[in-house]
Amino acid sequence: MPPGPHKKPMRAYLSLAVFIALELAAGALAGFVHQPGGAYASLAKPGLSPPDWIFVPPWALLYVLIAIAGWRTWQRAPRSGAMAAWFLQLALYAVWPPLLFGEHRIGDALMVVAVLLATIFVFMALSWRRDRIAALLLVPYAAWAAFATLVNGAVWSAD
């Protein structure tokens, strides 16, 4: 018997769950293992630097938005440049917090977060024609990455 119409939506929801799990795993690796604190707390940071507790709450929403954008792109164009940019941003985000918070390699972290921001914009530009919703889902992430780049740069220049 051929698969019924319910099979495709079920597969789509399963792949969405995989994207959310992948995003949460990258976030857990990056953010929860290397939270701000310790030696980072003793660095000279600009006045616009947020308190450490603010890093975790917005990420729940950002992770879901990033995952949905990746999932939507995967559904429409799994072998596209946008999908490659999505996976690249995932890898860059997994690297940035450990560099900054774990290893205190502030200059290297600044380079990574700047490339991360550029990669987010590349994803948005490549997604725009095919799926504007996927592109727009990353606007809050781009705003956060721009702010993180600014704060990381200020810490680096004060170091």
d(CA 114, CA 141) in angstroms, rounded, equals: 13
State residue 57's pLDDT score. Answer: 73
d(CA 83, CA 54) in angstroms, rounded, equals: 29
State residue 45's pLDDT score. Answer: 67
Q: Has residue 22 been placed in a domain?
A: yes
Q: Has residue 93 been placed in a domain?
A: yes
**What is the reported pTM?**
0.84
d(CA 138, CA 62) in angstroms, rounded, equals: 8
Task: Residue 122: give its domain's CATH number.
Answer: 1.20.1260.100
Number of domains present in the structure of the chain: 1
Q: Has residue 1 been placed in a domain?
A: no
- Structural domain boundaries, residue 124: 7-158
43-47: long-range contacts (C-beta < 8 A, 24 or more apart)? 43/104, 43/106, 43/155, 43/158, 43/159, 44/155, 44/158, 44/159, 45/151, 45/154, 45/155, 45/158, 46/151, 46/154, 46/155, 46/158
State residue 2's pLDDT score. Answer: 47
Q: Has residue 2 been placed in a domain?
A: no
d(CA 99, CA 85) in angstroms, rounded, equals: 21
Q: Has residue 76 been placed in a domain?
A: yes
State residue 27's pLDDT score. Answer: 75
As averages over each run of 10 residues, the pLDDT of the chain (159 residues) reads 56 87 79 59 70 73 94 96 97 89 90 98 97 98 94 88
